[in-house]
Structure 1
Amino acid sequence: MPAEIRLARASDVDALAAIENTVFEADRISRKSFRSMVDSASATVLVAAEQDAIAGYCAVLFRAGSRKARLYSIAAARGSGIGPTLLAAAEDTAAVRGCKELRLEVREDNARAIDLYEKSGYRRFGRKPDYYADGAAALLYEKPLHLAEPAAIHPKA
């Protein structure tokens, strides 16, 4: 059964933090930050739920007056295959909110994520040296957004 993409709830925060701690070695989002984003009007956190378990998430940030959104983070269990689905849902969410572009940063050494972004139509437009806490550089990517048919995103309920 495919994952259901829905808005994150406050009750998902522990699962979000667990995924974060499993997927990332450094520069992790804290429980407090997840809680803040779940409750924020300037952020949307989506989860991929499979049989009542959270298998992945993405967080999109918005700025008032800007037509650009930022994919702040995306994470899924390795080999789950839900990365492209979460990325498409992030794009749809930004487009529905009137954004014309989605931007992101990715570690220069994260070949798997870079491959996903490039296969999904993202274009590299820059590089930030010493971006991450361990000194790793970030590559900057962007993609124009065009809303065709929004993904089925279920409310927080």
Structure 2
Amino acid sequence: MSQPNDGVEPQLRAARAADLPILQVLEALFPGDRLSPRQLRHHLGNPHAVMRVIETDYTLAGYSLLLTRSGSHAGRLYSIAVAPAFRGQGLGKRLLDDVAAQARARGCRELRLEVREDNETAIRLYRNYGFSLLERRPSYYQDGTDALRFRLDIASG
């Protein structure tokens, strides 16, 4: 169920250290594949990581984590999450738009990601956005679940 929106447009911004407690709560909503508090802190200070949050009604509603490497043309969408209460408002698409722009600004021509094969909501978001399936990775996750690896061309955008 969606939260009411008081007319304030959702805002994207760089994640800050003060966001970490809320990001940890958000990650805990996804027990099958979550980042630890230590990983979140590490990525926040990593020069090759771009962690962004989206706020709606002055509440942190989701975030994305893009990883890049010097000399690589591919960015990796390492994590994206929208709190269940804020789903269905287009925030996932807004985060993907922002990730693509951030990746292009860093010289990337494509985005890649892995997603649990049982995460139908995320798979639908990625397919609707234009990602194409590259491969299946058997038993990729700790619990033995397969991963689907997707790719998106962002060179022209």
TM-score, normalised to structure 2, is 0.89
Determine the C-alpha separation between the residues in 2 that align with 1:146 and 1:43. 20
Q: Deviations over 1:54-85 (max 9, x none)?
A: 10000000112111000000000122521111
Match of 1:12 among 19, 41, 50: 19
Match of 1:40 among 12, 35, 46: 46
1:128 is matched by which residue type in structure 2?
R
Q: Give the Å deviation of 1:111.
A: 1.2
- Aligned pair count reads 147
Matches within 5 A, 1:4-153: 4-22=11-29, 24-78=30-84, 79-81=87-89, 82-146=91-155, 148=157
8 Å CA contact 1:92–1:147 kept in 2: the answer is no
Q: Deviations over 1:96-146 (max 9, x none)?
A: 111000000011111111111011010001010001111000000000113
Q: Which runs of 5+ in 1 are unaligned?
A: 149-157
Q: Give the Å deviation of 1:10.
A: 0.9
2:63 is matched by which residue type in structure 1?
Y
| Identical-pair percentage | 39
Match of 2:10 among 3, 7, 22: 3
TM-score, normalised to structure 1, is 0.89
2:41 is matched by which residue type in structure 1?
R
Stretch deviating more after TM superposition (123-132 or 76-85): 76-85
Q: Give the Å deviation of 1:27.
A: 2.7
Q: Secondary structure of 1:36's partner?
A: helix
Determine the C-alpha separation between the residues in 2 that align with 1:38 and 1:80. 27
Determine the C-alpha separation between the residues in 2 that align with 1:2 and 1:116. 21
Q: Give the Å deviation of 1:52.
A: 3.1
Q: Give the Å deviation of 1:147.
A: 5.4
RMSD: 1.2
8 Å CA contact 1:96–1:147 kept in 2: the answer is no
Q: Which runs of 5+ in 2 are unaligned?
A: 1-7
Stretch deviating more after TM superposition (72-81 or 88-97): 72-81
After superposition, the Cα gap between the structure-2 partners of 1:38 and 1:147, relative to the gap in structure 1 and judged at 3 Å, is farther
